[in-house]
Amino acid sequence: MKYQVDEKGFFGRFGGAYVPEILYKCVHDLQDAYRPIIESDDFKQSFHQLLRDYVGRPSPLYYARRMSERYGCRLYLKREDLNHTGAHKINNTIGQILMAKKMGKTRIIAETGAGQHGVATATVCALMDMQCEVFMGKTDVERQHTNVERMRMLGATVHPVTTGNMTLSDACSEAIRDWCCHPRDTYYLVGSTMGPHPYPDIVAKMQSVISEEIKWQLQEKVGRDYPDCLIACVGGGSNAAGTIYHYIDDERVRIVLAEAGGHGVDTDHTAATIHCGTEGIIHGARSLVMQTGDGQIQEAFTISAGLDYPGIGPMHADLAEHGREEVIAINDDEAIYAGYELTRMEGIIPAIESAHALAALRKLTFAPDDVVVLTVSGRGDKDVQTYLSHKDMAKEYGNF
Ligand SMILES: *Cc1c(COP(=O)(O)O)cnc(C)c1O
């Protein structure tokens, strides 16, 4: 593959590793260790065995007949919602816990927003018998209580974070602070394609199993191994990175990403970082950031807790800037509508994050033969209350 992170961890202008001095050594150790580990036969064998027998991979590539008719294309859904723990996040946590073990670490820390990454991390820590500490904004602890209970049942300690807005961004800062205090025994298990180099590259490589499978599944189903268009939602960017990974250099494939517009990109209530962000440094990487004129991070706003991040993975900042990715902002009401639409037309309740990707279908035009692959990043069980209480929002698009 031609498109790669450079030696210093940059994707064009974006990326790098901007960390406090005390973390230099552990970040460098990880930079040196990750490729040899990922490329070793031992790792590959354990990773793929767990993906198959524990996560339930390959995830199906499902031909959505009714939705295809409605949108005038051949629409295939990549069903990450069917994975163990209900989303794509588990692919990454399985890979990184194996890496932490190889590096001799005994204590795992993680940040979480909606709690999906926290649950996926607590799950693999139980599996591998590792100590697990999860940092989560106090606001999110209250909003996402079931996931907090799941983490506790799995044996993790959940630390409510009371600094800043008490959401994901503050949880990341607190995890980095903890890492500074325990650099030797602790592995920071980052949940998306963000953070200092090498994390964006590690997480993209762990999630690349998604496009690896899409290739052979398309070959079987449509007789060629590439689609005309790929669609995914983007928060930090991990399910999107996995979906596009093996197609980035393939110009035949159009790439469309959906970010969370919240109330709209022209309001103060948005999480559309690629549309509204400016260049800055966030959680150890140079990227696009929602920030005030004097560089204070601005709170992100969206109905979707999993897309609620004021930054974006550096790889996507670069690919979007060069026009390789088309990025569409999807507002809350459009996502709610799209969530109901998939539920009623195909019997699949998608995560509200994934509903942002589905809402992009209405904004695109296709030729009838076009093969479109859309990643359903997670299942919507956690969002049923949100869908029900915001049903009226979707009225102007149609009735359910
Ligand atoms: C966390 C999450 C996302 C957003 O994270 P990415 O790293 O951008 O993929 C999207 N969908 C679901 C279901 C999630 O849990």
HEC assignment per residue over the chain: CCCCCCCCCEECCEECCCCCHHHHHHHHHHHHHHHHHHHCHHHHHHHHHHHHHHHCCCCCEEECHHHHHHHCCEEEEEEHHHCHHHECHHHHHHHHHHHHHHCCCCEEEEEECCCHHHHHHHHHHHHHCCEEEEEEEHHHHHHCHHHHHHHHHCCCEEEEECCCCCCHHHHHHHHHHHHHHCCCCEEECCCCCCCCCCHHHHHHHHHCHHHHHHHHHHHHHHCCCCCCEEEEECCCCHHHHHHHHHHCCCCCCEEEEEEEEECCCCCCCCCCHHHHCEEEEECCEEEEECECCCCCECCCCCCCHHHCCCCCCHHHHHHHHCCCEEEEEEEHHHHHHHHHHHHHHHCCCECHHHHHHHHHHHHCCCCCCCEEEEEECEECHHHHHHHHHCHHHHHHHCCC
Lowest pLDDT segment from 36-40, 87-91, 138-142, 220-224: 138-142
Q: Does ligand 1 come within 6 angstroms of the Cβ of 241?
A: no
* In the block, residue with structure tokens 């601005």: 298
Q: Which of 310, 95, 307, 119 minimizes the C-alpha distance to 210?
A: 95
- Once rounded to an integer, what is the mean pLDDT over residues 42-64? 98
What is the mean predicted confidence (pLDDT) over 87-97? 98
Q: Is the pLDDT of residue 226 over 90?
A: yes
Q: Is 238 in the pocket of ligand 1 (CB under 6 A)?
A: yes
Ligand 1 pocket member 375 (CB < 6 A): no
Ligand 1 pocket: which of 89, 194, 302, 309 to mutate (most atoms <8 Å of CB)? 89
Q: Does residue 58 have a cis bond before it (omega within 30 degrees)?
A: yes
Q: Quickly tell me which residue has 């991979």 as its tokens.
A: 57
Whether residue 243 has its Cβ less than 6 Å from ligand 1: no
Give 252: exposed, middle or buried? Use CB within 10 Å, 0-12, 13-18, 19+. Answer: exposed
Looking at residue 165, what is its pLDDT?
85
Q: Which of 59, 80, 105, 111 is catalytic?
A: 111
pLDDT at 396: 73
| Distance in Å, CA 21 to ligand 1 centroid | 30
What amino acid occupies position 44?
K
Quick one: which atom of ligand 1 is closest to the CA of 191? 7
Which atom of ligand 1 sits closest to the CA of residue 116? 15
Mean pLDDT of 229-244: 98
List 59, 78, 80, 89, catalytic entry:
89
Q: What is the pLDDT of residues 329-339, one digit of tens each?
A: 999 999 999 99
Active-site residue flag, 89 = yes
pLDDT at res. 126:
98
Q: Please check whether residue 167 is in contact with residue 139, taking contact to mean a CB–CB distance below 8 angstroms.
A: yes
Two structure tokens written together for 69:
């008719």
- Measure 274 CA to ligand 1 centroid, in angstroms: 16
pLDDT at residue 398 is higher than 80: no
194 CA to centre of ligand 1 in angstroms = 12
Which atom of ligand 1 is closest in space to residue 80's alpha carbon?
13
Residues comprising the chain, all counted: 400
pLDDT over 90 (residue 153): yes
Confidence of residue 295 (pLDDT cuts 50, 70, 90): confident
pLDDT band at 104 (very low <50, low <70, confident <90, very high): very high
User: Which of 134, 357, 322 lies closest to 239 in space, CA to CA?
Assistant: 357
CB distance 115 to ligand 1 below 6 Å: no
Which atom of ligand 1 approaches the CA of 378 most closely? 13
Give the residue-averaged pLDDT of 69-88. Answer: 98
Section 22-34 average pLDDT: 95
Q: What is the 3-state secondary structure (H, E, C) of 361-382?
A: HHHCCCCCCCEEEEEECEECHH
* Per-residue pLDDT reduced to its tens digit, 367-394: 999 999 999 999 999 999 999 999 988 8
| Backbone phi and psi for residue 246, each to the nearest 5 degrees, phi listed first | -85, 5
Q: Best mutation site among 233, 316, 375 for ligand 1, i.e. most ligand atoms within 8 A of its Cβ?
A: 233
377 catalytically annotated:
yes
pLDDT in tens, 129-149: 999 999 999 999 998 899 999
Give Rg (Cα) of the chain. Answer: 19
